[in-house]
Amino acid sequence: MTSRYRASQGINSHAPRRRTVVKAAAATAALAAPLAAALPARAAESGPAFLHGVASGDPLPDGILLWTRVTPTPEATPGSGAGPDTEVEWAVARDRAMTHIVAQGSVTATAASDHTVKADVRGLAPATDYWFRFSAGGTDSPVARTRTAPAADASVANLRFGVVSCANWEAGYFAPYRHLAARGDLDAWLHLGDYIYEYASGDYAAGKTVVRRHAPAHEILTLADYRIRHGTYKTDADLQALHATAPVVAIWDDHEFADNAWSGGAVNHTEGAEGAWTARQAAAKQAYFEWMPVRPAIAGTTYRRLRFGRLADLSLLDLRSFRSQQAATGSGSVDDPDRTITGRAQLDWLKAGLAASDTTWRLVGNSVMISPFAIGSLSADLFRPLAELLGLPKEGIALNTDQWDGYTDDRRELLAHLRSHAIRNTVFLTGDIHMSWANDVPVDAGTYPLSPSAATEFVITSMTSDNLNDYVNAHEGTISALLSPLIRAANRHVHWVDTDRHGYGVLDITTDRAQMDYYTVSDRTDPRATSSWERSYRTRSGTQKMERTWRPV
């Protein structure tokens, strides 16, 4: 991809293997033909087309990253390597009618970048709504809205973010995207990982049913495979609608690569038979940065930091590129100080950023749960000597060592840093586990609540991926009613957990509190699914404690 920019009015531009509590069953049937296969077949017949929508992301006070993919000819489908170089023009305006253009330029879309293009536009005003579109060969894309971040030193009264994770195409429809798009009040939306899934068709569907088939049908391994899968997801109308409404801030988790990925491999990767992990990882990263409106950050990963005035900064983590291999469940090796989930450089970067922050709130985009989730929890004074003797984890038997529970030394170091530097108002925003949680993050889970909390954590359930209720095929609400009291009894820092429902969150922040409103959808397999508010929790400034509130904002 090559870029050529021009600015008007003096404005410059620049360029069935998942080892978690919720394990899905294999699928056996399909109910829908792949939308991705149908759209390209009848498009681009009379010229370039924008079949995969338009998007924006990573808002800055003076800029925004714009994205699209052009299909220049019918054969130039995602991953094909076919199709001519095509000049794509972009324009940014102050109005939806695109009459007051403030920046414009052009980018050359090539097969080398799968005909995706990005424009990193600068010179814009802070905290401002803009509209943008792309054009190629006489064809215009849809017009979309975006928004810049507040100025770094601005006093900001309120911020509102949509929050989602775990969107499995074959398990259902993406109604949460549609409901978030309909709000019209978001400064941005956060995707906390598993934007796509890597499995073969039917391997990770919805309660043994494939709701709609993805492409390609086989497990994705090559660059072409990952491009095709991203392209399939980007044809979803609800996803396109949300991308056209507000900028996204995204991080990856494991399924953008393969299930339970770590620096040297993945549970869902067989070295040799499925090629080299290094090649597969590189292909997945390349396709991700081609297809997502995300700026490649430090070392070509997704860890980076954004600031929203004096109200909040957002540290975004990459918990896959540098982590050690997951430990066996019940093994005391989870406490090994030589094992890491962040890598040394990223953990130092996170600690330094949290200590230096002068904003009211310190948000951390975190793909896997940091709060302990354990069984066999006794008081620390009794359990730790026993654990040492038996070679067990010192904080209880962790149920999911893919989370921070499997890397307790990193967690202890980070939480000790928060306490020793008196860093307040740290809020972790988390996905992955396919359940909703509201947690305090205790320094010592064994003695909590007699010991302090270092932070709080909002965990968002999956959009469509199977949760515990789906796995056991019970009536919705039954499993949560049975398990929630047991989970809370063994994990006293957990204020609430819902194991059964799918949905999304809306994070609303003021100087006084950070509040998460949890929403659920009526039926993930229904493309017209409705949405309803379930619960709200908030943490008040200076408390490091979670509390329930009785209405959404």
Share of the chain above pLDDT 70, in %: 86
Which helix or strand (DSSP H or E) is residue 517 part of? Answer: strand 513-521
Per-residue pLDDT band for 173 (boundaries 50, 70, 90) equals: very high
Q: What is the pLDDT of residues 109-138, one digit of tens each?
A: 999 999 999 999 999 999 999 999 999 999
DSSP at 465 = S
Q: How confident is the model at residue 2 (pLDDT cuts 50, 70, 90)?
A: very low
Going by C-alpha positions, the residue among 487, 498, 495, 496 that lies closest to residue 521 is 498
Question: Residue 510, Cβ neighbours under 10 Å: how many?
Answer: 17
Query: What was the pLDDT predicted at 472?
Result: 76
pLDDT at 356: 98
275 and 225 in contact (C-beta within 8 Å)?
no
Which pLDDT score, from 0 to 100, does residue 468 have? 83
Lowest mean pLDDT among 13-27, 227-241, 455-469: 13-27
| Pair 277, 266: CB distance under 8 Å | yes
| pLDDT reported for residue 391 | 52
Q: In DSSP terms, which residues pair with 272 in a beta bridge? A: 275
Q: What is the pLDDT of residue 479?
A: 80
Write down all domains in the chain, each with its CATH number in brackets: 2-549 (3.60.21.70)
Q: Using the predicted structure, report yes or no on whether residue 187 has a pLDDT greater than 80.
A: yes
Computed over every residue of the chain, the mean pLDDT equals: 88
Beta carbons within 8 Å of 91's beta carbon, 6+ residues apart? 98, 101, 103, 104, 132, 133, 135
Res 299: pLDDT = 67
Q: Could you report the per-residue pLDDT of 194-247, keeping only the tens digit for each?
A: 999 999 999 987 667 899 999 999 999 999 999 999 999 999 999 999 999 999
408-420 vs 344-356: helix crossing angle, rounded to 10: 20
Residue 149 pLDDT > 90, yes or no? yes
Q: For residue 294, give Cα distances in angstroms to 16, 58, 350, 433, 476.
A: 30, 6, 19, 23, 36
Alpha carbons 212 and 345: distance in angstroms, whole number: 41
pLDDT (0 to 100) of residue 294: 96
Work out the percent of the chain whose per-residue pLDDT is above 90: 77
pLDDT at 473: 74
**Residue/partner pairs of 45-49 with CB below 8 Å, 24 or more apart:** 45/74, 47/136, 47/137, 47/138, 47/139, 48/72, 48/86, 48/88, 48/136, 48/137, 48/139, 49/139
Is the pLDDT confidence value at 295 over 60? yes
Determine the Cα–Cα distance for residues 535 and 549; give it in Å rounded to an integer. 8
Report the pLDDT averaged over residues 92-121. 98
Residue 387 has pLDDT above 90, yes or no: no
- Give exposure, 381-393, as e/b (b: 16+ Cβ within 10 Å): eebbeebeeeebb
Residue 21 in this model has a pLDDT that exceeds 70: no
Ranges of beta strands (E only) in 37-143 are: 54-60, 63-69, 86-93, 101-109, 116-121, 129-136, 139-140
Q: What is the pLDDT of residue 349?
A: 97
Q: Quote the pLDDT of residue 33.
A: 31
Query: Has residue 44 got a pLDDT over 60?
Result: no
Question: Dihedral through CA 255, CA 259, CA 262, CA 265, nearest 10?
Answer: -110
0.75 exceeded by the pTM? yes
Range name among 184-193, 275-284, 474-483, 505-514 with the lowest pLDDT average: 474-483
For residues 463-485, give the mean pLDDT. 83
Name the pairing type of β-strands 361-366 and 374-375.
unpaired
Categorize the per-residue pLDDT at 20 as very low, low, confident or very high, splitting at 50, 70 and 90. Answer: very low
Pinpoint the alpha helices (H) of 331-379: 344-356
Mean pLDDT, residues 258-269: 96
In terms of pLDDT, which residue wins out, 399 or 498? 498
